[in-house]
Amino acid sequence: MAPTEIVSTRSARRLKRDRFEGLLRAHASRLRRLCHGMLTDRTRVDDVLQEAFIKAFRKLPPSFESPAHESAWLYKIVYRCCLDELRRARRHRTAPLEEPVDDAMERARSSLSIIRALRELTPEARAAVLLVDLVGFDYRTAAAALGVPEGTVASRLSNGRARLHELLGEERRDQ
């Protein structure tokens, strides 16, 4: 390899790394919230995000049609890694364990209720609720991130919200 090719390759790698770091800076906190909402276990969240970020870096395309496509692409990778982790955990779980909840949520009873209710949703409904209601995606961007049609997002969101309302309503009556 000629010296100019080596410099060019290094330059391309640096540009890719800088672009990826910018992408993560723009989305990291919302990706963490999505992942935490899907998994509800801080230790698993870190591992899944690391796995997702490695996959994203390796597959980072040269460009995107728009910023919406860029964010949907990244959220889709994180979502799929969360689903993979849920499948792995289901295969290896021997006894149901209460998942740890961070200190701030323990102090806030309503937050804990919401987390418990979110756990009761299917992963697909949970992801739709989190992407639209927590992250703030519109249906089109959520659909792109989940790899499903907009109507499916609307249906999952409707079912998820109805189930949350039902679960949280029952809990309030019990208190």
Q: What is the pLDDT of residue 111?
A: 65
| Cβ pair 38, 79 in contact under 8 A | yes
Per-residue pLDDT tens digits of the chain, which is 175 residues long: 555 555 577 787 888 889 899 989 999 999 998 998 888 777 889 999 999 999 999 999 888 888 888 889 999 999 999 999 988 887 776 444 454 444 444 445 666 677 788 889 999 999 999 999 988 899 999 999 999 999 999 999 999 999 999 988 865 454 4
> Percentage helix, strand, coil, to 5, in the chain?
80, 0, 20
pTM of the predicted protein model: 0.67
Q: Is 114 exposed, middle or buried (0-12, 13-18, 19+ CB in 10 A)?
A: middle
Q: What is the pLDDT of residue 65?
A: 84
Q: Based on the structure, what is the number of domains in the chain? A: 1
Q: How many CB atoms lie within 10 A of CB 30?
A: 19
Q: Which domain holds residue 45?
A: 3-174
Of the candidates 88, 166, 169, 174, which has an alpha carbon nearest to the alpha carbon of residue 121?
166
